[in-house]
Structures are given as C-alpha cells and as structure tokens.
Amino acid sequence: MKKIDFFSDKTCTIVALVVNFLLIILKFLAGIFGKSQTMIADSLHSLSDGVATLVVYISLGFSKKPPDEKHPYGHGNIEVLTAMFVSILILITGFFLGYSAIHSIVHKHYSNQPENITIYAAILSIIVKELLYRYTYFVGKNLNSSMLIANAYDHRSDAFSSVGALLAIISAKLGLRIMDPIGSIIISLFIFKMGVDILKENTSIIMDALPSKQMQTYINTLINSVEGVRGFSATKIHPVGRNFFIEVEIFVDKELTIEEAHKIAEEVKNVLKNYNEQIKDVTIHIEPKYKG
C-alpha cells in the first residue's frame, strides 16, 4: 500500500477540499436550525473558499506539465495565475462582507437572536480553518508554491469571517445587535488587505522580480566557491511559478581547454541545483580571463 505524503501539494489540497465540504454543510445546517442569517452567510463564504481550493487542485496538474516548444520554462506560472485568481476571490469576499455590513447599519437590518448551536459551529470553524491555514501555509512555503500560500490565506480569511460571525451571534444574544455589522466591517478590511498583499506578491513574480536578498547573496557565494571560477557577472534569476531558472556568466583562465572550462561550468550548475531543489536549470556562459 502506497504511503500518503501529507506534505505534498496534492494531499494538502485534497485535505482542504474535504474539510471545506464538511464545514459548508455544517455551517449551513447550523444557520438553518439555529436561526442565524450570519451563519448561513458564513457558510457561503466557505463555499467560495471551497471553489478556490478546487481551482488550485485542478491547476496542480497543469502547472506540472513538462516544458514544450511554446513553453520552454514549463507551465509553473499557472500557479501564479491561480494565486492571483484566489486573491481576487478574497478581495470580492472582503468587499461584499463590508458592503453587507454597511447596508445593515444604514437600514438597521440586524440579526435575530440565534440558537447556541451557531456559536459552537462558529468556534469549530475558526479552529479548523486556522489549523488548515497553518498546514497549507507550511506546505506552500516548503514547496515555494505561491498558489498554495494564496490558498492558505484564503483559509485564514474564512477563519476571520467566522470570527465576525461569532461576534455577531454573541452580540445578538446579548442584545447589542449593531456590533454584528461593525465587527464585519473591521474583519472585511483585514480580508481586503490580505487579498491586496497576495495580488502584489504574485504580480512581482510575473514581472520577474528577484527573490530575497539572502538567496541572491548565497547563490553568488556558491558560484565563487567553485574551484576554477575567477569571477562572474550578470547573474539573472528568473522565477517561474515555484521554480527558479538562473543565467550566469563566469570567468575562467584563458589557458584552460574547452573541456576543462566545461567541467567548471557543470560544477557550478550542480552546486546551485543541489542548494535548492526549486532551481530547475542553470544556463552558464563562459568567458576567458588572463591570469594575474
């Protein structure tokens, strides 16, 4: 029997799909039988989270397709496009949550007094979605997957939504019904900011922004550490989805044979690819340099 890898992108996404499906049903039924419009609305937010996770799952297969004539760097940027799609869903969620809350205040459409079951459902949702966020974020960071990281933040936005629902339900039970929309407005701002941050981060990948200074510095150090390298210039790091493609120009002694220079270039390539499995290919240009 094949062992399940709980830290793979596929398993992580399947777990999220199953958990979301169960939460949608639980919160919807709690809203119906607990007489809470807030909980029903929260279940619909979980539905949008489930749609985002389903899109991520479908995108995983396409993003791992090997390079072809039209896509020499592979299809990794499908992950970036998916992350941007998820960020837009988060922005829409934040907007409508805030709009609905403002509408409730203006027209004084406050929640009725709900049953206790809705409180339990909200608490369970907060705990489960926060755990799902931490799990998905860990896997996404480990795999350098912007798509999984974006989906993790979508789970957290759902947790925030459930926090708003919990505050609304408790406020309604205490008679402070106006706290329901006020809490929703505050949470909608957090959700909106989250969506903007994810959109900015993935736009920078599409625009070929460089990775962290730490990674750049370490890559330069590794290149210099290879025996026979007498300097380098023009290091270019291209992010493609969760992977990196590097181009670098190295200097070697002019007296070396083509075969010897090629061995040095191969060693540079091996050192960089061993440093980080997300580095999928290294293109090296060799330039001669006089001794002294």
Spans of all domains in the chain: 9-206, 213-289
CB 114 within 8 A of CB 35: yes
pLDDT of residue 131: 96
Q: Which amino acid does the sequence have at 227?
A: E
DSSP string for 93-153:
HHHHHHHHHHHHHHHT-PPP---HHHHHHHHHHHHHHHHHHHHHHHHHHHHT-HHHHHHHH
CB 128 within 8 A of CB 186: no
CB 31 within 8 A of CB 42: yes
**Nearest-angstrom CA–CA distance, 240 and 66:** 13
**Nearest-angstrom CA–CA distance, 65 and 77:** 11
Residue 17 or 233, more confident: 17
Phi/psi at 228 (5° precision): 105, -20
What CATH code would you report for 9-206? 1.20.1510.10
pLDDT of residue 127: 95
pLDDT tens, position by position, 65-98: 877 777 777 777 788 888 888 888 888 888 887 8
Output the pTM of the full model. 0.70
pLDDT of residue 207: 72
Q: Class assignment of domain 213-289? A: alpha beta
Phi/psi at 160 (5° precision): -60, -40
pLDDT of residue 280: 81
* DSSP structure class, residue 8: S
Phi/psi at 284 (5° precision): -120, 130
Q: Which amino acid does the sequence have at 16?
A: A
Q: What is the mean pLDDT of the chain?
A: 83
**Nearest-angstrom CA–CA distance, 209 and 286:** 25
**Nearest-angstrom CA–CA distance, 257 and 24:** 67
Q: Is the pLDDT of residue 186 over 60?
A: yes
Nearest to 124 by CA among 17, 43, 14: 43
pLDDT confidence band for 209 (50 / 70 / 90): low
pLDDT tens, position by position, 243-274: 888 888 989 988 888 898 899 999 999 888 88
Mean pLDDT of 223-248: 83
pLDDT of residue 139: 94
Q: Is the pLDDT of residue 100 over 90?
A: no
pLDDT of residue 177: 73
Q: Is the pLDDT of residue 9 over 90?
A: no
pLDDT tens, position by position, 22-48: 999 999 999 889 888 778 878 877 887
Radius of gyration of the chain (CA): 25
